[in-house]
Amino acid sequence: MLACVHSSAVVGLEGVLVEVEVDIGPGNPGLTIVGLPDAAVQEARERVRAAIRNSGARFPLSGRITVNLAPADIRKEGPAYDLPIALGILLASGQVSADLTDTVVLGELSLDGTVRHTAGILPMVGIAREHGLRRAIVPAEDAAEAALVEGIEVIPVQSLNELLAHLDGQAPIAPLSPTPIELGDEPLSGIDFAEIKGQEHVKRGLELAAAGGHNVIAVGPPGAGKTLLARALPTILPPLTREEALEVTRIYSVAGLLPSGSPLIRHRPFRAPHHTISFAGMIGGGAWPRPGEVTLAHRGVLFLDELPEFSPRVLEVLRQPLEDRLVTISRASGAVTFPASFLLVAAMNPCPCGYHGDPVRACRCSPHEVARYQKRISGPLLDRIDIHLPVPRVEFDKLADHRTGEPSAAVRARVEAARAVQQRRFGDSRRLNSEMTPAEIRRYCRLDEAGERLLRTAVERLGLSARGYHRVLKLARTIADLAGAERIAAVHVAEALQYRPQEVG
């Protein structure tokens, strides 16, 4: 007897339709799984055997069972094939009679037949819908996530026994209603700008970063507020659009990081990996590549505290995603591309002890130690950061002032207005000034006469590279957008030049 059940695999962040073919024929009793399965798929033999037996069904003891996961040239990993394999065996052995030609089946089985959570449900159900399938049988825990895919009927199952009763018509399972995607009025999450004392120059720099997607580095002594300011940045970023929310949710679904009880990511990601992170942890990797921190921060913020403490190899690998907004991981079996459009916010001390140039505490570091510490960050990486912010110690009078500053909501409104200007400019809601090409810079970054003279002088005196010149123009364009100016003036160029890197001492 031969049976076929549709399932799905994940390659990178994309789903691939998989046919689980089950044949029961003459031969020595046994269960063989072919089709490039990994160890977890191979172990499905024992899980499926126990789950079928403990669900009141009969596992065939006579004849050889062959399970083929097609197409055979795509690697199959994870336990998501348990449920379709079990269902295929029951169909092939005649214990179940059901038409599943328009259904995709996903789920891991425990030994007692319980259907467990499976990572990557969103892209797997999405690819099934694209292939014309109309129904998805998924773990009950993941049903709300699957229901984010429009145009497909989601059947949530808690156990194999429950599914068998549903297919036999004894206890039909009601399809889950589609999960509504309503965004735009999400409450601000994080530290409000109004609660941060002083540091108005730094707040202004973060506003520019949020408005134009510019990368930021903050340099200052310990306790000056670098980390606090970075964690407040998400509160001034615009809310996720529907497309962005689904994009981020797909990433977290594949990574197995979706919050329990929340099928949709509604806030922009904020990732703050420790400086001991590995190369693969930052960029992604593994035998079968999985997203790293740069992808988990997609459409959000990647915060690197104590930047010089990160491994040089980890820092240098950031150069490609900072420039291309994506990262490609190559293996012998092929290459996988992950999105990595994030806002980098880095923080560092000016020296090993942290007090170089501080007016209150004396620095204990020698000039050689200060220079060596600062050189841990390479020039090419620093050149990809548009905004360099000195973060000085906050004075007592400002700390003791009970008045609050400008709230994040007011800053966020200006950021959204500036992004609306960019959306009209580029005709794309996702593109920002920081992503302009040289041709777009020539078209949209026109200077008035005074601004051109000022920039010419700056290029000559500061020795700006071509990349540095373009980054000043991009930042000046964002400053002009926030000011509601059509043409970039000298005052906008002057402010953009203030954020160029400076020697700390």
pLDDT digits (tens, 9 = 90+) for 98-126: 999 999 999 999 999 999 999 999 999 99
The mean pLDDT value for 61-85 works out to 91
**Share above pLDDT 70 across residues of the chain, in percent, rounded to a whole number:** 97
pLDDT value at residue 400:
81
Residues 6+ apart with CB under 8 A from 370: 350, 351, 352, 356, 363, 504, 505
Residues facing residue 25 across a β-bridge: 64
Secondary structure (3-state) at 341: coil
The pLDDT mean for the chain works out to 91
Taking the CA atoms of residue 306, residue 307, residue 309 and residue 315 in that order, the dihedral angle to the nearest 10 degrees is 160
Distance from C-alpha of 468 to C-alpha of 466, rounded to nearest angstrom: 5
The mean pLDDT value for 249-268 works out to 90
CA distances for 305 relative to 230, 269, 309, angstroms = 9, 16, 9
- How many other β-carbons are positioned within 10 Å of the β-carbon of residue 338? 23
Give the best-scoring range by mean pLDDT among 328-342, 421-435, 461-475, 479-493. 479-493
Q: What global pTM score does this model have?
A: 0.91
pLDDT value at residue 321:
92
Higher pLDDT, 198 or 82: 82
Residue ranges of the chain that CATH labels 3.40.50.300: 193-412
Taking the CA atoms of residue 300, residue 334, residue 324 and residue 9 in that order, the dihedral angle to the nearest 10 degrees is -30
pLDDT value at residue 367:
92
Inter-residue long-range contacts of 476-479, CB under 8 Å, 24+ positions, other chains counted: 476/445, 476/447, 476/451, 477/212, 477/433, 477/436, 477/444, 477/445, 478/208, 478/211, 478/212, 478/214, 478/418, 478/433, 478/434, 479/208
| pLDDT at 216 exceeding the cut of 70 | yes
Residue 472 binned pLDDT confidence (cut-offs 50, 70, 90): very high
Distance from C-alpha of 295 to C-alpha of 285, rounded to nearest angstrom: 11
Residues 6+ apart with CB under 8 A from 428: none
pLDDT value at residue 505:
41
**Residue length, the chain?**
505
Distance from C-alpha of 296 to C-alpha of 300, rounded to nearest angstrom: 8
Give residue 216's identity as a one-letter amino acid code.
V
DSSP β-ladder status, 270-271 and 301-304: parallel
pLDDT value at residue 463:
84
Helix axes 490-498, 466-483, angle to 10 degrees: 120
CATH code of the region 436-505? 1.10.8
pLDDT in tens, 398-431: 788 877 889 999 999 999 999 999 999 998 778 8
Residue ranges of the chain that CATH labels 3.30.230.10: 2-167
| pLDDT at 138 exceeding the cut of 50 | yes
| pLDDT at 502 exceeding the cut of 70 | no
The mean pLDDT value for 19-27 works out to 92
Distance from C-alpha of 253 to C-alpha of 258, rounded to nearest angstrom: 6
CA distances for 33 relative to 30, 177, 453, angstroms = 10, 35, 71
Question: What CATH number does domain 2-167 carry, 3.10.129.10, 3.30.1330.10, 3.30.230.10, 3.30.70.580?
Answer: 3.30.230.10
Residue 351's closest CA among 306, 314, 407, 294?
A: 306
Residue 37's closest CA among 60, 83, 66, 68?
A: 68
Residue ranges of the chain that CATH labels 1.10.8: 436-505
∠ CA(23), CA(28), CA(34), 5° rounding?
45
| pLDDT at 188 exceeding the cut of 70 | no
| pLDDT at 183 exceeding the cut of 80 | no
Please state which of the ranges 4-13, 153-162, 171-180, 206-215 shows the lowest mean pLDDT.
171-180
CATH code of the region 193-412? 3.40.50.300
Taking the CA atoms of residue 398, residue 403, residue 405 and residue 407 in that order, the dihedral angle to the nearest 10 degrees is 150
